[in-house]
A and B are shown apart, each in its own frame.
Chain A
Amino acid sequence: MVGCAKREGRGKRGAWAAPAGVLGGRPRGEPLCLPSGPQRPPLPQLMRFMLLFSRQGKLRLQKWYLATSDKERKKMVRELMQVVLARKPKMCSFLEWRDLKVVYKRYASLYFCCAIEGQDNELITLELIHRYVELLDKYFGSVCELDIIFNFEKAYFILDEFLMGGDVQDTSKKSVLKAIEQADLLQEEDESPRSVLEEMGLA
């Protein structure tokens, strides 16, 4: 999850430049999450986290909607991957893990995994996963794992346009894709070649 320079990839648009300042600024060894204020137990919300990983156990995407420490996250990912990869193809898409429900679905070589709270509706989570895959598909055009590997920041961006804090933002595919297109356009405008004078701010 490091900032990447401009890459050639299978994506339609170029990769985004990531700022060096923020990412490089964290001193090593400092825990990523410090408790803010009195410790509160996590209150119920729709989704705790979403993971994408390959059949070989390589993590391609992780989005956490509840603050957890790095160590804890690694542990959870490792455990959950083991459990999900051990499932046989004919088994149902839901399983209980720790105190959460995990909804997973396999698309080609990738497993899409969502962890939801005990009282939530698993079937609608399946729809949610499917909708995300459809969005990726529409954007990349017949998406495959390589698209997500080379354009992971786009995958995150699409996820952020679709879900926020674990809740669905917009139920219309069209408007989500339009928003991403517009943001891409804005980015391209910004990167279009400028004359020397413009760069100096004189024109």
Chain B
Amino acid sequence: MGTQCTGTGSWPNCSTSTCWATPPTLDSDLSQGIQPVQGLALCTLSTMGSAEMCRDLAPEVEKLLLQPSPYVRKKAILTAVHMIRKVPELSSVFLPPCVHLLHERHHGILLGTITLITELCERSPAALRHFRKVVPQLVQILRTLVTTGYSTEHSISGVSDPFLQVQILRLLRILGRNHEESSETMNDLLAQVATNTDTSRNAGNAVLFETVLTIMDIRSAAGLRVLAVNILGRFLLNSDRNIRYVALTSLLRLVQSDHSAVQRHRPTVVDCLQETDASLSRRALELSLALVNSSNVRAMMQELQAFLESCPPDLRADCASGILLAAERFAPTKRWHIDTILHVLTTAGTHVRDDAVANLTQLIGGAQELHAYSVRRLYNALAEDISQQPLVQVAAWCIGEYGDLLLEGNCEEIEPLQVDEEEVLALLEKVLQSHMSLPATRGYALTALMKLSTRLQGDNNRIRQVVSIYKSCLDVELQQRAVEYDTLFRKYDHMRAAILEKMPLVERDGPQADEEAKESKAAAQLSEAVPAPTEPQASQLLDLLDLLDGASGDAQHPPPLDPSPGGALVYLLDLPCAPPPPAPIPDLKVFEREGVQLNLSFIRPPENPALLLITATATNSSEGDVTDFICQAAVPKSLQLQMQAPSGNTVPARGGLPITQLFRILNPNKAPVRLKLRLTYNHFHQSVQEIFEVNNLPVESWQ
């Protein structure tokens, strides 16, 4: 009998000796005609079959596909699936019988056939095209199953054969992907399945979930996509944890393409942050961060910061860096931004990325009006807790730079606090001596002390004492600094004040690892490079500078602009050390109406010449707010356009924070780029719709 097979059938890999021993037996077992034996042989083949075995036995298996007994046929079909996985060339052998097999009524055979067709289509685009013609038949099978195909034998809790339904939906997904015609054929059926499936038990939810996945992947009608997102939203409210999990995962996949539909479920997503299950709260965190935009940033940040305080330790790092990134993209005001970063540093200071310190110092340095405020807040935070290293580093730096403002005592934004010189010095000394301070932190503290020697009124004996103590410190870096500072006191005292002056704003260098930040900074970087284009277009320059001056008053990082074009040219020429960037493409103003302007700026990344990144910036210099701003774009067929979600849909009046939106255009043929833009927004209580073509894009953007 097939006893030989029972033993080997449980071994899912092939050892050389058994491989060579079994094929003759398998061959005879397969053609023997006793069904259980044939079944066992097929099972062995499908679990253990090596490529050689599969090639040798393919004709036998093909014969068994046409046998009358469903028991053997269903096994033969699945064995064929395995054979194709092992030896893709066998697809040609097993492709012809498929269409015929689809007419079977036996569920097992049908299931196997659909799995076989799925496997064939996934491996070969030719097979995919061939099987597109069975889409109507598949639709019919599924429809029959859903409406009249109830049989107790195959049903699970009221849903007819969910395994078969899910498999058909998967195949439809593969066939409908990127194919308008097939997708249209499926639309009605998908809507029917989505609305009629009983969702009280897991089986129904499994079918519904597969339907949603299919709708998301094919070219479905807009209404159907909204239905899919709503189903996921309903899943989020389900009491079953598993269903919430799949909903969160799927919404995360959808958030880029159907951003506004997913936004509607934001409150539910935020509630999911409170989940006790770590995998669920991680998903909820990722999704919440993806949903932050300029209109909901304050509310979302509050929720996320509350979450940061109570979240499990392995999520802290992601949460902290996510908050910092979102704050950078969407901060409404500088002060809010500084507050947010401060809060993150105090709550989860040890988990932030290394460049957080540099970013914060850069930010504070650039916000002149907030120096006093920042230094006070940092001083208070430091006085409470000197263990969080990034916080201590920033605080030390600030106190060193703006110590005089700290001692002045009058700052409108927080309650006045009289700070004594001695207290400040004592605090810095405490940081220096604490065993919790890293060597880098101590370096910060020592330098801060030194800077204070010029900022404070009193005599410098205490500072000199501390500095001379550290001249014999074991840490080489600290020792070197201390020696240098001491020499400054002794021999170069006349230069001390000049050397320890307030630092100029450091140029923000190097893109962060995060690509999103890189792309959102593209606008900022471009606006930095724009004041000095290689061709002296003076009038256009002044226009752009006006635009920048007006619009970027509250922008995140105001670049150091020189108001006169000549000076700006000199500034560019003075940067010989930086590697010469590719000539920046000039911006293009494409639309203006009653103070609302749309500007396009271009970047061609050098590593990918076919790619063109366009940042559309909408600004508003009028007296009325612009709301519900939506920009849609179309390009000729030879190009591919991908639009990212806009930073928001409101531009406040009088030069409020502009809306930016990134377009990615792939232009492998170097065809001239043309854009058709459609803008809709509300302005002065009127709804405005504008459609126009942009044909005069600069040549450098596509050549």
Contacts and interface: CB of A to CB of B under 8 A. Distances in A.
A32 interface: yes
Q: State which size class the interface on B falls in.
A: 35 or more
A20 to B, nearest CB: 9
B246 A156 contact: no
Nearest to B157: A127
Interface in A84-122: 90-96, 121-122
A32 B13 contact: yes
Given A92-B277, A169-B78, A172-B153, A123 B108 contact: no
Interface in A166-189: 167-175, 179, 182-183, 186
A193 interface: no
Contact of A25 (B21, B50, B79, B279): B21
A1 to B, nearest CB: 7
Interface in B246-279: 246, 276-279
A123 B17 contact: no
A201 interface: no
A124 B18 contact: no
Interface string B606-638: 000000000000000000000000000000000
B146 to A, nearest CB: 15
Interface in B11-36: 11-18, 21, 36
B209 interface: yes
Contacts of A32: 11, 13, 15
B123 A43 contact: yes
A172 B107 contact: yes
Given A91-B279, A153-B6, A169-B78, A36 B202 contact: no
B150 to A, nearest CB: 13
A182 B111 contact: no
Interface stretch (B136-144, B159-167, B343-351): B159-167
B47 interface: yes
Contact of B10 (A21, A156, A182): A156
Contacts, number: 179
Contacts of B130: none
Interface in B198-217: 202-203, 205-207, 209-210, 213
A164 interface: yes
Contact of A90 (B9, B74, B166, B276): B276
A165 B162 contact: no
Contacts of A126: 202, 206, 242
Interface string B478-489: 000000000000
A26 interface: yes
Contacts of A16: 3, 6
B39 A92 contact: no
Contacts of A45: 85
Given A27-B17, A94-B245, A127-B162, A19 B7 contact: yes
Contacts of B202: 123, 126-127
A30 B15 contact: yes
B222 to A, nearest CB: 24
Contact of B209 (A26, A121, A179): A121
A80 to B, nearest CB: 15
Given A44-B122, A65-B12, A122 B7 contact: no
Given A19-B3, A186-B36, A26 B15 contact: yes
A159 B11 CA distance: 13
Contacts of A25: 17-18, 21
A60 interface: no
A27 B18 CA distance: 11
A76 interface: no
A91 B241 contact: yes
A22 interface: yes
A172 B3 contact: no
A63 B12 contact: yes
Given A1-B10, A92-B280, A123 B163 contact: no
Interface in B53-109: 71, 74-75, 78-79, 81-82, 85, 107-108
A17 B276 CA distance: 50
A52 B249 CA distance: 27
Given A44-B122, A92-B277, A68 B14 contact: no
Interface of B: 1, 3-4, 6-18, 21, 36, 39, 42-43, 46-47, 50-52, 71, 74-75, 78-79, 81-82, 85, 107-108, 111-112, 115, 122-123, 153-154, 156, 161-164, 166, 170, 202-203, 205-207, 209-210, 213, 241-246, 276-280
The 10 closest A-B pairs by CB, nearest first: A123-B206, A170-B108, A33-B13, A92-B241, A67-B13, A64-B12, A164-B78, A124-B206, A165-B82, A91-B277
Given A126-B242, A171-B161, 8 more contacts: A18-B3, A22-B7, A32-B15, A121-B206, A124-B207, A127-B203, A160-B47, A170-B74
